[in-house]
Amino acid sequence: MIGHPEPVCEYCGCQAVPTIDELTREHEVVLVLLGEIRAAGARADLPLMAGLARQVAAVLGPHTRVEEDGLFPAMSADFGDHVAGLRAEHRQVEAVLDEAADGTPADPGWPARLASALDTLREHIYREQDGVFPAALATLSTAEWEATEAVRARVGTLVPASAG
């Protein structure tokens, strides 16, 4: 299990929805890991960077499934271009994280690609927190939330439930 840092967002009430709360907690864990990767990068500790990249990928695996198989299809009709952009960013970040799937990448360009992917991921998280999640709260039907929750039930999460 991975720890629980401070919340990213609490202003719109969307975290009262369990699905959004879980997605938000996963974002928070990823943001902490991104900071740890940057610190490891400053020390040129490539094995640690690769290990942390695998942790990010592990958290993002089920997270991305919930978004792409549940939330995004429900939002595509109203926000198609935005959703398509978010999906493309998922693929971009996944590709770089996957380079570390079997150990420390030997390619000397990987740390720079990772740093760029982390920048993309950080901005991506804030766009979801500030735009996608509040929009989902306002637009998804009960059936769409249930379908999204069914995806979560199928894929699980590595992040523990919130204490409060």
pLDDT per residue as tens digits for the range 9-52 = 455 454 557 899 999 999 999 999 999 999 999 999 999 999 99
Is the distance from CB of 6 to CB of 162 less than 8 angstroms?
Answer: no
Nearest to 86 by CA among 33, 49, 135: 135
83/13 Cα distance (integer angstroms)? 22
Residue 18 near residue 70 (C-beta atoms within 8 A): no
Q: Is the dihedral of CA 72, 75, 76, 79 positive or negative?
A: negative
What pLDDT is attached to residue 163?
57
Cβ contact 89:120 at 8 Å: yes
Condensed to tens digits (0 to 9), the pLDDT of residues 50-79 reads 999 999 999 999 999 999 999 999 999 999
CB 34 within 8 A of CB 55: no
Correct CATH for 18-155 of 1.10.3470, 1.20.1740, 1.20.120, 3.10.620: 1.20.120
63-69 long-range CB contacts below 8 Å, 24 or more apart? 63/23, 63/26, 63/27, 63/30, 63/157, 64/90, 64/94, 65/151, 65/154, 65/155, 66/19, 66/22, 66/23, 66/148, 66/151, 66/152, 66/155, 67/23, 67/128, 69/151
